[in-house]
Chain A
Amino acid sequence: MPLYDDVERVKLRFLQTCETLVNQGRLDDDEFQGILELLDSMNDYDDEEFRAELSKISKGISDLIG
């Protein structure tokens, strides 16, 4: 399952980036937790739904990956 590993690595890199934004004060902790939970249940959404959910949590992050 190399795809699984690739996806997990991407998620972790994404969280690492979000963590940096938290440290810079550009993302608050609630937003970070929301993003983390969304990534954890990512398989339940298609691309559009995921982007919509992410946008609800943080418009800035959603725009960043958009």
Chain B
Amino acid sequence: MNLTSPTPNYDLPIDLNAERQVLGILIKHPTQVDKIIDRLRPTHFMDLAHRRIYEIILELYHKQGRISYTQIYNRLRADTVTDNPAELLIGLTESFVSLGELEPSIFQLIYKEGIRRLVKASDTIKSMALDPDFDDLEEIQARAQELIFSASQSGANQGDDAKNLLEVLNKCYLNLVQRREGLEDSYGLSVRYPSIDGMTTGFKKKDLIILAARPSMGKTALALNMVSNVAKRDIPVLIFSLEMDDEQLGDRIVLAELFSHKADGEHAVTSHEYQTKLSDEQFFLTQQVFNELYHLPISIVDKRGLTVTEIRAKARKFKAEHPNLGLIVIDYLQLVKPPGDSNRSWSLIVGEMVRELRDLAGELDVPLILLSQLNRGVESRESKRPMMSDLRDSGNIEEFADVVMFLYRDDYYYPEMAQEKGTEGLVEIIFAKQRKGPTGTVKLRFIKEYTRFIEEYS
């Protein structure tokens, strides 16, 4: 007696008995539907008739809360998945003994489906890898990682279960105690600039932080300074540098450190000396700085033309290797390569990329600092201080950001006036948006020669 319709014609793991048991139990005990609906999708059932019966069960339960064999029989009459609904359903009534068989059967269905997804993903990766039309190794690797990651996300709605208030308040209370005890990063990720930390109380995990300014204002320098400060506490940081190569970044990190080494009240090594020729003493000192920096857990991806997909794949891989990843920096948004097959407007494309990067921060549970240029509208205004509207042409970036920081220097636009006013090198960090904190402006001093930001009072 053939109780089920033919299964799809490929060799994948399947447990027809578990499928029958789950369906039989659900028809007899409809209230169990609530307990499994977020764990089982129709695709967990490989037999097409079983899959259809599961869909019917869900429909009936949601419509009237009651399920019966006769109603399912009636629905199956109108379908083509089986030519003998009575035999199929009688098979279900004979398939289980007790309610206790439900959980083990669900486990089997979830397990088999997870294996099937992995097998299918590996088949797709194999076809893609052997397809002569795909000739970009890094693109293939990135897509392979996406496929494997996607196949590993099992369960119908995993991770978005409703949390009860007790669970939420427990976490809030733990944070409160940690703050009271002054524990490291109990507020968020400190970047060791008191004025910035004072505004943000530390960058929060899952947050997208936009650091935007006109070119040469000091975006990369500030980001690198913050990166070094974080990494000095042995917190891994990942930098995607789409403009500068790794050596340029390395030199900047060394220079910023050299700033604080002085001899006879003067800088021991000037930027010019570092980039030309050092005396023996200076060379010895610089070697010491190198030695201090060698152990910092900073990793740099300095490939130009990365897509969001590639960034995501590399970041996921890095997170898997460094579970305590503390910060991601992307320098900068306008150099991220947009998807090639899109006919949408630039604004929509950029908006989509920013949303995907925010989702990446959420997925990896780290703050992500995304550097961004500002449009030229700033230049044509009397007041050159950036405003939210200066981001607006770039796909509503501000909508997706948790924090928006702008950099502004008087001496960038008015060098003589800045010299007269004594504001030369003074940088305003304008917090134009903070979802979890105040807006306002703080000031740092930018030592351009050393690409180093210091607190104004220091």
Binding site for B on A (CB under 8 A): 1, 4-5, 8-9, 11-13, 15-16, 19, 33, 36, 39-40
Beyond contacts A9-B93, A36-B70: 14 other A-B pairs, Cβ-Cβ < 8 A, are A1-B28, A5-B94, A8-B69, A8-B89, A8-B93, A12-B70, A12-B73, A13-B90, A15-B70, A15-B86, A16-B87, A36-B74, A39-B70, A40-B71
Q: Would you mind naming 23 contact pairs between A and B with Cβ atoms under 8 Å apart?
A: A4-B28, A5-B94, A8-B68, A8-B89, A8-B93, A9-B90, A9-B93, A11-B69, A12-B70, A12-B73, A12-B90, A12-B93, A13-B90, A15-B70, A15-B73, A16-B87, A19-B86, A36-B70, A36-B73, A39-B70, A40-B68, A40-B70, A40-B71
Tally the A-B contacts, defined by beta carbons under 8 Å.
37
| Closest Cβ–Cβ distance, residue B194 to chain A (whole Å) | 70
Q: How far is the CA of A15 from the CA of B89 in the complex (A)?
A: 12
B94 touches A13 (CB 8 A): no
Partner of B86, one of A4, A13, A33, A40: A13
Name the interface residues of B83-110: CB closer than 8 Å to any CB of A.
86-87, 89-90, 93-94
Total count of chain B residues near the partner, CB < 8 A? 14
Residue of A whose beta carbon sits closest to that of B86: A16
Secondary structure of the A contact surface, majority rule: helix
In the complex, chain B residues 140-157 whose Cβ is within 8 Å of any chain A Cβ:
none
Chain B 31-53 interface 0/1 with A at a Cβ cutoff of 8 Å (1 = within): 00000000000000000000000
Instruction: List residues of chain A with CB within 8 A of the CB of B73.
Output: 12, 15, 36
Minimum CB distance partner of B77 in chain A? A19
Q: Which 8 pairs, one residue from A and one from B, show the smallest C-beta to C-beta distance?
A: A16-B86, A40-B70, A12-B86, A5-B93, A8-B69, A39-B70, A9-B90, A12-B90
A15→B68 CA distance, assembly (Å): 13
Q: Which chain A residue lies CB-closest to B29?
A: A1
Residues of chain B within 8 A of A4, CB atoms compared: 28
Of chain B, the residue at the smallest CB distance from A16 is B86
Docked-complex contact A12 and B28, CB < 8 angstroms: no
* B86: chain A residues within 8 A (beta carbon): 12-13, 15-16, 19
